[in-house]
Amino acid sequence: MSGSGPEAPQPSEAAEARLQEAEQDWAAAKAFYDNLVTKKPRPPKPQNAITVAVSSRALFDLVEERRIYQEQGVEKYVEYQQNNENVTLKPGPAFYFVKALEHVNARLLELYPDDEERFDIVLMTNNHAQVGVRLINSINHYGLTIERFCMTGGQSPIGYLTAYLTNLYLSADSEKVQEAIEAGIASATMFTANKDVSYSDTQLRVAFDGDAVIFSDESEQIVKEQGLDRFFEHEQLNENKPLAQGPLKGFLEDLGKIQKKFYAKNERLNCPIRTYLVTARSAASSGARVLKTLRSWGLEIDEALFLAGAPKGPILVKIRPHIFFDDQMFHIEGAQKLGTIAAHVPYGVAQKYNKSS
């Protein structure tokens, strides 16, 4: 029988052939979907996007559903969600922030129709898949562009954040947020405002605390452990030494990259993103180091407000941010009372002193 017909391919050759066939299949599938005509923008590739993962309880108001889950168990919870899957969920604390991100995306697509550097919203939830229909119906009702879901059926979704290349994670679950922070992912726990206020439809407004949010908590440690006078002395001595970065520095940097895309099109005065630093620091005593640190990073902040220990709530009422990040719960609670949607960043020495959870 030898010499009759071609030789059988070696195992390595067979594996290579299968790989080439798989690549051809992928290329054919990609070409098919690329040629589909649709008015809806496709999600950007994860490696090009700024990925913001939100939980279902951050995106929507699920207080009643949460009560059913806690009091009656998961089976009754799933049954309730299925029976009400055509009842639209009301907005949750992250809803208007997500809407503002999508407005920025729409503006970007007008200026850069082929560019994929824009925001990609991922619904990251431990909900069961059976609940997905209600979530999808509500997302479609509001016209949100959320194509990527991660529904983990009762398991923690935190392990998926890295796989989804997450730049920011927002949740109503403080334990999951703490877990994400410890994994090195920018994260915050969302809190609903106690008053209804209107938010800008044309400009995303993001307010940040400084220490333990944009910056590390190194200076805050001195305040807590050695007092204000030692803190002022330390900051003046180290004025020209940049602060180390904090957990939200990367997201501020992401916002800055998108802003520069608008500036490049002569849209600085009409930019749909505005950033704010709202800090308890005093300008004269400790403000220079903050501004010089931002400069050393090549980052711009649109407005810097040094409050010298005054409450942040009244200033935030004027700004009306879609989200305000702070590491201290008494600032979060003060902002909430006056109608600001606040996000707690559980990072740094202040967590030892927080009384609320």
Contact between 121 and 54 under an 8 Å Cβ cutoff? The reply is: yes
In angstroms, the CA 67 to CA 34 distance is 44
209 in catalytic set: yes
Q: What is the CA radius of gyration of the chain?
A: 24
Q: Which ranges constitute the DSSP H helices of the chain? A: 11-34, 56-59, 63-72, 74-83, 95-111, 132-141, 158-163, 174-182, 218-226, 228-237, 249-263, 283-297, 313-319, 329-337
Q: Given CA atoms 189, 195, 198, 203 in this order, what sign does their dihedral have?
A: negative
Cα–Cα distance, 125 to 119 (Å, whole number)? 19
- Which of these is catalytic: 120, 173, 209, 326? 209
Token output for 132: 């997905």
Residues with a catalytic annotation lie at: 209
